């Protein structure tokens, strides 16, 4: 449904008199299948929004090819616009308008007649359960209500592909759950959903497949479970801060501990994040006693040890050497 190869975009920014070129997207490739929820995951500034804006015809790519729902992005952006919906990160509505007025405008911008537009508006108002507030001024809506209106606006013309830029950013947990439900409903109706997010749990539970972008390049692509399986075994997190003191441990201790643990044969890799060490091991159950022994041998007393299954954050850390949460 979406085929992207070698898509590139750079910006020229001027700070003072010095002009620099920022390569926001440095050649990304991915494909999205019909009827799947595809998550585009990455930290802020990784090139997520730039890629999304190019696919939504808002920015012209510098290079590369993309086809969306059978239309060529560079040669025929008009056809792309007919077939996609796009929901930006910030709402695209005037505070003093009403939801219904904007829904009707939206349908009419896709060329529908006034009466068809009213019917389409009534349809999405029902589907997204906007009845209670849709005729009030938009400035009175809660964050979740506003976001639901935004998505309703994006899909009023039943596009084949819907692009959602950070659909749950800033929402409280119940509104997020509600939004996930709506996104799944769109997928179940046969729509292809492309969303960006920097929430790992969102990518994990909502997306059928994810692509991880960092510094303008795709570093991993696959289903969340496949990606996590690539990180074999378990994750053991060793916190070197002593539990009874608030202060962080000496940097030398952290360095010592990471050195000794990285040398252990059962540790596949070891990453340091401030005063915690993240160890990737085959089995946490057998590794923990050996870790304790190795640390005690150096006279280091860990404050806490916990263990868990690998998360997408571990995938991200393994691919980029940084955590997404930073």
Partner 1 sequence: MKLLRDTWLIFQYEVTLQVRNPVNVAITLIQPITYLLLFTPFLKAVMHAPTYSEAFQIYVPSLFAAMGVFSGMFAGFTLLGAIRQGVVTRCRVTPVSRVSLLLGRVLMHILLIGFQGIIVTIAAVVLGLRVQPGNFLFALVLLGLMVLLSVSIGYGLALLVPNESSLVTLTNSIAQPVSLLAGVLIPLTVAPLWVRNVADWNPFAWGTNAMRSIFEGNIGASVVWQATLIMGVVALVTVVLTSRLFSRETA
The contact set with partner 1 (CB under 8 A) reads 56-60, 77-78, 81-82, 84-86, 88, 90-97, 101, 105-106, 108-111, 153
* Least Cβ distance, residue 172 to partner 1 (angstroms): 22
C-alpha to C-alpha distance for 288 and 306, rounded to whole angstroms:
9
* Least Cβ distance, residue 110 to partner 1 (angstroms): 6
In the bound state with partner 1, the residue whose beta carbon lies nearer, of 92 and 143, is 92
In the bound state with partner 1, the residue whose beta carbon lies nearer, of 1 and 267, is 1
Exposure class string for 271-307: b at 16+ Cβ within 10 A, else e: bbeebbbbbbbeebeebbeebeebbeeeebebeebeb
* Least Cβ distance, residue 27 to partner 1 (angstroms): 20
* Least Cβ distance, residue 49 to partner 1 (angstroms): 11
| Phi–psi pair at 258, nearest 5 degrees | -65, -35
Q: Are 154 and 162 in contact (CB under 8 A)?
A: yes
| Helices and strands, number each (H, E), in the chain | 11, 14
In the bound state with partner 1, the residue whose beta carbon lies nearer, of 22 and 94, is 94
In the bound state with partner 1, the residue whose beta carbon lies nearer, of 47 and 159, is 159
In the bound state with partner 1, the residue whose beta carbon lies nearer, of 55 and 171, is 55
DSSP for residue 322? S
* Least Cβ distance, residue 109 to partner 1 (angstroms): 4
53: Cβ contacts below 8 Å, ≥ 6 apart: 59
């Amino acid at each position: 449904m979406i085929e992207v190869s070698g898509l590139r975009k750079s910006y020229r920014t001027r700070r003072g008199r010095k002009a620099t070129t920022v390569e926001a997207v440095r050649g990304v490739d991915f494909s999205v299948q019909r009827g799947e929820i595809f998550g585009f995951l990455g930290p802020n500034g990784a090139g997520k929004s730039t890629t999304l804006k190019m696919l939504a015809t808002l920015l012209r790519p510098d290079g590369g090819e993309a086809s969306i729902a059978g239309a060529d992005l560079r040669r025929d952006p008009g056809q792309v616009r007919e077939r996609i919906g796009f929901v930006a990160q910030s709402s695209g509505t005037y505070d003093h308008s009403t939801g219904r007025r904007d829904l009707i405008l939206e349908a009419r911008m896709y060329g529908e007649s006034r009466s068809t537009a009213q019917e389409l508006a009534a349809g999405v108002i029902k589907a997204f359960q906007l009845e209670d507030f849709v005729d009030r001024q938009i400035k009175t809506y809660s964050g979740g209500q506003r976001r639901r209106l935004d998505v309703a606006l994006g899909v009023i013309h039943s596009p084949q592909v819907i692009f959602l830029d950070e659909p749950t950013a800033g929402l409280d947990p119940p509104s997020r759950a509600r939004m996930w439900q709506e996104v799944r409903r769109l997928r179940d109706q046969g729509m292809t959903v492309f969303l960006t997010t920097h929430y790992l749990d969102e990518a994990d539970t909502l997306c059928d497949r994810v692509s991880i972008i960092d510094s303008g390049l795709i570093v991993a692509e696959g289903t969340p479970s496949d990606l996590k399986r690539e990180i074999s075994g378990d994750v053991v997190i060793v916190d070197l801060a002593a539990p009874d003191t608030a202060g962080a441990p000496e940097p030398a201790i952290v360095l010592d501990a990471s050195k000794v643990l990285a040398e252990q044969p059962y540790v596949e890799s070891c990453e340091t994040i401030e005063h915690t060490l993240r160890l990737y091991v085959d089995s946490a159950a057998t590794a923990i006693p050996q870790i304790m022994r190795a640390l005690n041998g150096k006279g280091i007393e860990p404050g806490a040890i916990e263990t868990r299954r690998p998360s997408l954050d571990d995938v991200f850390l393994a691919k980029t050497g940084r955590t997404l949460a930073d």
